[in-house]
Amino acid sequence: MYGVNARPHPQEPPPDLPAPGTLLVDTSRNNRVGEFRGVADLYWSLRPVGGGREWEVEPRHVRPALPIERLRARTARANARSRGEVL
């Protein structure tokens, strides 16, 4: 029904919430890596590792970042910081 917020599969338990700052991968957005920021209604809020605008994603489209994905994200942030793009 349009305009009604309901879990698509109410029989499934909600996934465990990660700690704020945990790096996750949004599989619905070309495997974009983001930091978990919190919950917004039925969605999880993620933010780019180097800072920027948050986006929302359904928890079913999120998975933990692999070690190589975490390394890439941290390296990208360090490079942006060295260029003065972020604090």
Sign of the dihedral through C-alpha 13, 30, 44, 76: positive
Q: Structural domain boundaries of the chain?
A: 23-82
| pLDDT at site 70 | 95
- How far is it, in rounded angstroms, from Cα 74 to Cα 16? 24
pLDDT higher than 70, residue 18: yes
Residues 72 and 79 sit within 8 Å (Cβ to Cβ): no
- pLDDT mean over 46-73: 94
Instruction: Report the chain's terminal Cα–Cα distance, integer Å.
Output: 44
Q: Are strands 55-57 and 32-40 parallel, antiparallel or unpaired?
A: unpaired
- pLDDT mean over 25-53: 93
pLDDT higher than 90, residue 59: yes
